[in-house]
A = this chain, B = another copy of it.
Amino acid sequence: MDLGVSKNLEPLLAAVKAFMAEEIAPVEHDYIHEIGVGDRWQFTDRQTEIMESLKDKAKAKGLWNFFLTEGEHGSGLNTVEYAYLAEEMGKSHIAAEVFNCAAPDTGNMEVLHKYGTEAQKEQWLKPLLNGEIRSAYAMTEPGVASSDATNISTQAVLDGDEWVINGEKHYISGAGDPRCKIMIVMVKTDPDAATHVQQSQILVPMDTPGVENLRPMNVFSMDDAPHGHMHQRYTDVRVPKDNIILGPGRGFEISQGRLGPGRIHHCMRAIGAAEKALQLMCERAVSRTAFGKPLARLGGNIDIVANARMDIEQARLLTLKTAWMMDNVDPKEARVWISMIKTAVPNVSIRIVDQAIQMFGATGVSQDTPLAAMYMGQRTLRLADGPDEVHRMVVGRNEFRKYMDTKPVNAIRRHG
């Protein structure tokens, strides 16, 4: 169970770190600043110029599509190796996109790669792999507890050669991006079928008539423009019968395959965010003075930093082991590990970001450090792709199951 940086990965990891320091860091701030300029839901010319030129450079250096581990377009990396790269990307607000490794595109590309028809691949996977378009994934619904996938109520009904879709979805991340051309929508195709074969996943081009962007949803007060977390309504949205992925009733199955790697990527980026927050916290602590001492020597700050280091190391190892499980054991077993990191890791990253905020005082919640945005992002991760509560249930049940059929060891014995 090798969880270290492999020989294979070493040069790649170094190249990514160098690219981030030399190419991304100098322009990242400019890029973010541009979000507030003009129509917030369009990219400014300056933004487009920054991002496209970074993408071109990254692609030219082969720092591209790392996430896709297998197949002809695959990077040949295993999940442990990719995890180290994802961690680095997690330290920047824009790096994942620069390397064409940003959610939700990565998950969508994986779905198309694994389950798509040749025609679907040609039409959507190819431009996604090239970084020419972006995509979205419409899953969560406003009226029901979407953590329980059987609650999905958006319906797709077959009418001749077309699926007719009606319903509402919200928190469709990236659906505000003008470059977003395609969505995978989770729908209910057969309400009368057995619980886990009622759902399907369907490709819906963004410009299909009947797809309506109702409003951007906020994450705290952040709308993440122009990426956006959209609330959409579907009114008699018609797509060709062939737009279904893998076939009717396979939606739940696809989710399971899609969400695993996505959650690991999220967690590794969260580790990166936590490392970044710890770095900022330490820099602040050694350089800022109050009551005649650097903050590093006041009160429990050294304990906070020490605990942060321990928590990060543990969270990273758990994520790396989960990545290893993903590659090496039965998916059912790996799923429990994914639920573990999906609960454990964001709680670590939030806590550390929160403590870094405290170390920065008012500046910590301001627009002058990345901490506030990091907090909002990490906090949302405790809800996205299943809330903590659901993942804990998965882990807890798995644990109890081990003892269901066995007689207890004789734990209790009377001592005189």
Tell me the A residues contacting B by CB distance below 8 Å: 1-4, 29, 32-33, 36, 140, 142, 145-148, 151, 170-171, 215, 217-222, 278-280, 282-291, 295-296, 298-310, 313-315, 317-318, 321, 340, 343-344, 357-358, 361-370, 372-373, 375-376, 379-380, 382-384, 387-389, 391-400, 402-404, 408-409, 411-416
- Point out the residue from B151, B222, B318 that lies within 8 Å of A310, measured CB to CB: B318
In the complex, A289 Cα to B145 Cα: how many Å? 7
Query: Which 10 pairs from chain A and chain B are nearest by CB?
Result: A300-B300, A1-B4, A302-B396, A314-B314, A317-B317, A145-B290, A306-B396, A283-B408, A306-B395, A221-B222
Contact in complex: B411, A283 (CB < 8 Å)? yes
Q: How far is the CA of A310 from the CA of B389 in the complex (A)?
A: 14
Q: How far is the CA of A395 from the CA of B282 in the complex (A)?
A: 13
- Whether B366 lies near A218 (C-beta < 8 A) is yes
Contact of A282 among B219, B289, B403 (CB under 8 A): B403
* B302–A393 touching, CB < 8 Å: yes
Q: Which single residue of chain B is at the shortest CB-CB distance from A409? A: B283
Q: Is the CB of A309 within 8 A of B361?
A: no
Given contacts A300-B300, A313-B318, A375-B220, contact A32 B415 (CB under 8 A): yes
For A372, list chain B residues within 8 Å (CB). Answer: 218-221
A interface secondary structure, majority = helix
Can you add 11 more A-B contacts, CB < 8 Å, to A220-B376, A221-B373?
A3-B321, A32-B415, A279-B409, A280-B411, A286-B400, A299-B392, A314-B317, A365-B379, A365-B383, A368-B415, A369-B411
Pick the residue among B299, B380, B415 that contacts A365 (CB under 8 A). Answer: B380
Q: Give the CA-CA distance A393 to B413 in the complex, in Å.
A: 30
Inter-subunit contact A400/B305 (CB<8 Å): yes
What separation, in Å, do the CA atoms of A413 and B333 have in the docked complex? 41
Q: Is the CB of B318 within 8 A of A340?
A: no
Q: How far is the CA of A3 from the CA of B3 in the complex (A)?
A: 7
Copies of this protein in the complex: 4
User: Bound state CA distance, A315 and B344, in angstroms?
Assistant: 12
Q: How near does chain B come to A292, taking the closest CB pair, in angstroms?
A: 8
User: In whole Å, how far is A284's beta carbon from the nearest beta carbon of chain B?
Assistant: 7
Q: Contact check, A397 vs B220: say whether CB atoms are below 8 A apart.
A: no
9 contacts between A and B (CB under 8 A): A140-B362, A146-B361, A221-B222, A279-B403, A280-B411, A300-B304, A306-B399, A309-B396, A370-B411
- Chain B: CB-nearest residue to A294: B400
Complex Cα–Cα for A354 and B346 (A): 14
Q: What distance in Å separates the Cβ of A157 from its nearest Cβ neighbour in chain B?
A: 25
- Chain B residues with Cβ under 8 A from A367's Cβ? 217-218, 221, 415
Alpha-carbon distance A2/B306, docked complex (angstroms): 26
Residue of A217, A300, A379, A393 with most chain B CB atoms under a 10 A cut-off? A300
Select from chain B the residue with minimum beta-carbon distance to A150: B291
> Shortest CB–CB separation between residue A239 and chain B, in angstroms?
25
A303 touches B415 (CB 8 A): no
Chain B residues lying within 8 Å of A398, measured Cβ to Cβ, are 309
Looking at the assembled complex, report how far the CB atom of A82 sits from the nearest CB atom of chain B, in whole angstroms: 16
Say whether B383 contacts A358, CB under 8 Å: yes
Contacts of A280 on B, CB cut-off 8 Å? 409, 411
A398 to chain B, nearest CB (A): 8
CB distance from A141 to the nearest CB of B (A): 10
Tell me whether A278 and B399 are in contact (CB under 8 A). Answer: yes
User: Are A296 and B340 CB-contacts (below 8 A) given A1-B4, A290-B151, A314-B317?
Assistant: no
Q: Which residues of B contact A393 (CB under 8 A)?
A: 298-299, 302, 306
Select from chain B the residue with minimum beta-carbon distance to A315. Answer: B314
CA A302 to CA B291, docked complex, whole Å: 15
